[in-house]
A and B are shown apart, each in its own frame.
Chain A
Amino acid sequence: MRQGVPEGSLSTTFASLQKNALARWQQERSSAKPVITVGTATCGRAAGALDVVQAFQDELERHGIDCPVIEVGCMGHCYAEPLVVISKPFRPPICYSRVNPVIAQRLVREYILGDDPCLEFVLGALEPNDLIPSFQDFPRAAYEQKLLLKNCGHINPLDIDHYIANGGYTALVKALQSPPAHIISEIKKSGLRGRGGAGFSTGEKWEVCNGAQGRPKYVICNGDEGDPGAFMDRSILESDPHSVLEGMVIAAYAVGARYGYLYIRAEYPLAVEHTRIALAQARKYNLLGKHILGSDFSFDVTLFEGSGAFVCGEETALISSLEGKSGMPRHRPPYPAVSGLNGKPTVINNVKTLASVPHIINRGADWFAGIGTETSKGTAVFALAGKIVSTGLIEVPMGTTLRQVIFDVGSGIPNNKNFKAVQIGGPSGGCLPESSLDLPVDFNSLTGAGAMMGSGGMVVLDEDDCMVEIARYFLEFTQRESCGKCTFCRLGTRQMLSILDDITKGKGKLKNLETLERLAEDVKAGSLCGLGKTAPNPILTTLRYFRNEYIAHIVEKRCPSLMCRDLLTYYILPDKCERSCDACVGSCAVEAITPNKQRIKVIDQDKCTKCDMCRVACPVQYNAVVKLSPPQKVPVASK
């Protein structure tokens, strides 16, 4: 598939696009007027970013200031949303965190009208300067290396010119001027591995598909991210959809595909909307469609909304769902690269894999292979969630240790609690304890420890989290999301769940653990698709690293982390309870708390529903309400 047009004309066509885009970008950003950007990805919107945008616009209008308010994507600092960046001439761009409409009005009055940068709301400056600490001075900057997230929160995802002005689509132009075989060999040389979880070599996949018989070929982008606690793909699609599109077009050119599908789950309405707009813009600029940029290569992408099945993240299930059948995996081989959508060769890659491709083409395979470890190249994007100070999106080179990711980049555990475990790779991953914290994050070492790189969800657990309950939670998820096709996954997960249910309720027996372990191994070995093969991982890893917690539940009927409701009781410490305070009495929905003669509050255990409201209501200076496990520990109350 060589171009029928001279190579020069391709670059000329693109050069004019690029010139316009740069002119628009420069006019918007480097003019004499201030610019406000607000992060309005889902994380920002949830924190009220749209109100902030409105407040800025109203306030600017009231004062008659001409200042564009641009909506951008997620900057990764999701713990501090809504984030606002104000760039003023002769000032470094300053990022403000946790902005609300009132703060927005104040920022307009005091910083844009006046010249007081309101230091009390500042998170950091985007550029080093001698006034405000910049993001580069943050401890996490030493570890972070933003590649895929470079544009996120920087450009307007709804404006293709912003992407082009920041070096977008240059990789596509470069790719279209070289033969497909060269691109495949570059990707192979870069060592890029699939970011969806399994870590299969992307270059090899493309090579197989390129050599496979059958027309037309397809490229599918898998954006069916369903792991609890993972939001990397969503953020990238919301904040920088063109990077994924560019990767798709390059993939299509490399394997000779004519059509592409972007499979995004319908639960991500904003990602769907942004991608739809991006597709329309790319078509308008002839970066998609027939004869892309005047070359002989034609490729078009259709957006497909997945309707909410976790299993559709599995490639064969995804394809079957695209074909209009129920989303159910099938036996591999044949692999989709040989026989995929409609029985034709199909490349199916994760969002992050495709978004890495333009960088490799632009900066070369050797540069990419220089990042990361021996077996895993490039960067890893993680969604930090759970008991961690800086929740949000981070991107670090492969090989960074878990300790660095959690304690240096993510700023550790909040409220002075102790770290207990980190759950990596969603329901298919495992829980790793403190002793595994010095493991480098890459495909091989995590698999060795019983976890999985997965798509990049990282849920941090502290001392208050019960590992048996965590295993039960994730198994309940996989059990519910199992498609039900094969015996092991459909019935095995159900059996394991019923055992775990019993253990968390204090009805477990020691011999159950043996059954659980054996069953988990069999489900892992016997299941048809990746869902079943990895569903027992949370059980196997918690049994491996936290077996004592299982034993405590079974033998002592005690939940060491005071989380399993059936194994604990609420108790008010008489020596701590304040006679004049009735906060807990009012908070109790079932009137189980009454004051005794000394006006010390006492819980009637028969009425108590263990809703935790009294413990929350008890003022911190008293902290009289405690949880006890096992329930028998409660002293007989004096009425």
Chain B
Amino acid sequence: MNQVTLTINGIRITAPEGEKLLWAALDNGIYIPNLCGLKENTEPLAACRLCFVEIQGRNKPVTACTETVTERMVVDTKGEQCLRLAKSGFELLMASHALDCGHCLKNRNCELQRIAHHLRVSLKPRILRKILRDLPVDDSHPAFIYDPNKCVLCGRCIWVCRNHVKSGVFGFAHRGFQRRVTTFGDEPMGRSDCDGCLECVRVCPTGALVERGAVPRLGRTEPVY
């Protein structure tokens, strides 16, 4: 496959032609905050709105997950405009995230913590008010626990369940602020035909889907995705 050369933050990198900018950057060790992206998914959801970058020649920040790399593209991931949007989007997510790192099984292995660290912002929203949905935690499944209050609606779990496992246990339901990942007819996970392959737990960036009986990690580890 042909390679293209581009510059991100002054660093020249090469990436396969047709690759999305987000993956080109991540593969070259340049971190861009992201939640909803999955490399195998060729139709990016573009829902989390965190991977904003500035590309020379464009007047507005664009999402890196939807932008295909081009030869001699000049990208800035630390521009003022794109960081403002990323921080604003992140604060919005955190304002509606049931923050409980101390008791969360994803602690120290959480994409949200990583993004907060990268953006140098606090996990607690500074200006925005906390608006939570207070949905019941679903612990009916023998293999995993689903806490919708921690979900950021990235849709990764749905994508792997449908495209890798070919099962389609859950999907998005409801509209607007009430949107959530749930099973058909809002049945508890335990009563769905999920066989507990835990693919969804593996891709979940937050503590919304965690393995039952998992031990909180103490050391700092890099997330799978």
> Which residues from chain A sit less than 8 Å from chain B, CB to CB?
309, 326, 330-331, 479-488, 490-495, 498, 515, 518-519, 522, 525-528
Contacts and interface: CB of A to CB of B under 8 A. Distances in A.
A519 B175 contact: no
A525 B178 CA distance: 23
Contacts of B175: 309, 480-484
Contacts of B128: 495, 515, 519
B49 A481 contact: no
Interface in B35-93: 43-50, 52, 60-61, 63, 66, 81, 84-85, 88-89, 92-93
A480 B179 CA distance: 11
B28 to A, nearest CB: 23
Contacts of A483: 175-176, 179
Given A483-B176, A494-B176, 4 more contacts: A480-B175, A482-B177, A525-B85, A528-B46
Contacts of B85: 522, 525-526
B120 interface: no
5 contacts: A331-B63, A487-B48, A491-B95, A525-B60, A527-B49
A492 B92 contact: yes
A484 B181 CA distance: 11
B206 interface: no
B153 A331 contact: no
B117 interface: no
B124 interface: no
B174 interface: yes
Given A483-B179, A515-B128, A488 B89 contact: yes
Given A483-B176, A494-B177, A331 B46 contact: yes
Contacts of B46: 330-331, 486, 528
Contact of A488 (B44, B45, B49, B172): B49
Contact of B129 (A485, A493, A498, A528): A498
Nearest to A494: B177
A515 B127 contact: yes
A336 to B, nearest CB: 15
Given A491-B93, A495-B95, A515-B127, A486 B47 contact: yes
B131 interface: yes
A481 B93 CA distance: 19
Contacts of A518: 88
B107 interface: no
Closest A-B pairs by Cβ, 5 of them: A484-B179, A491-B92, A522-B88, A331-B46, A482-B176
B47 A485 contact: yes
Nearest to B88: A522
A332 to B, nearest CB: 9
B92 A487 contact: yes
A484 B177 contact: yes
Nearest to B152: A487
Contact of A481 (B47, B96, B176): B176
Contacts of B129: 495, 498
A479 B176 contact: yes
Interface SS majority for chain A: helix
A619 to B, nearest CB: 45
Interface of B: 43-50, 52, 60-61, 63, 66, 81, 84-85, 88-89, 92-93, 95-96, 127-129, 131, 152-153, 172, 174-179
Nearest to A529: B46
A105 to B, nearest CB: 49
Contacts of B48: 486-487
Contacts of A480: 175-176
B96 A491 contact: yes
A78 B89 CA distance: 44
A527 B43 CA distance: 18
A485 B44 CA distance: 12
B55 to A, nearest CB: 14
Contact of B88 (A479, A498, A526): A526
Contact of B176 (A326, A484, A528): A484
Given A486-B47, A487-B50, A331 B66 contact: yes
Contacts of B92: 487-488, 491-492, 495
A420 to B, nearest CB: 30
A515 B91 CA distance: 12
A480 B84 CA distance: 26
Contact of A526 (B52, B174, B179): B52
A511 B112 CA distance: 28
A360 to B, nearest CB: 33
B21 to A, nearest CB: 13
A487 B95 contact: no
A492 B127 CA distance: 13
B84 A522 contact: yes
A495 B95 CA distance: 9
A447 to B, nearest CB: 15
B3 to A, nearest CB: 23
Contacts of A492: 92
Nearest to A483: B175
A563 to B, nearest CB: 25
A326 B177 contact: no
B174 A528 contact: no
A309 to B, nearest CB: 7
B43 to A, nearest CB: 8
Given A331-B44, A488-B89, A526-B52, A498 B179 contact: no
Contact of A519 (B50, B66, B88): B88
A25 B175 CA distance: 49
A341 to B, nearest CB: 15
Contacts of B88: 488, 518-519, 522, 526
Given A484-B153, A515-B127, A490 B89 contact: no
Nearest to B177: A494
Contacts of A490: 153, 176-177, 179
B191 to A, nearest CB: 23
Contacts of B153: 484-485, 490
Contacts of A485: 45, 47, 153, 179
A552 to B, nearest CB: 23
A487 B176 CA distance: 10
A491 B179 contact: no
B27 to A, nearest CB: 21
Nearest to A332: B66
Nearest to B35: A487
Given A495-B128, A525-B60, A486 B176 contact: no
Contacts of A527: 49
Interface centre among A481, A484, A491 (most CB of B within 10 A): A491
A522 B44 CA distance: 21
B68 to A, nearest CB: 10
B131 A484 contact: no
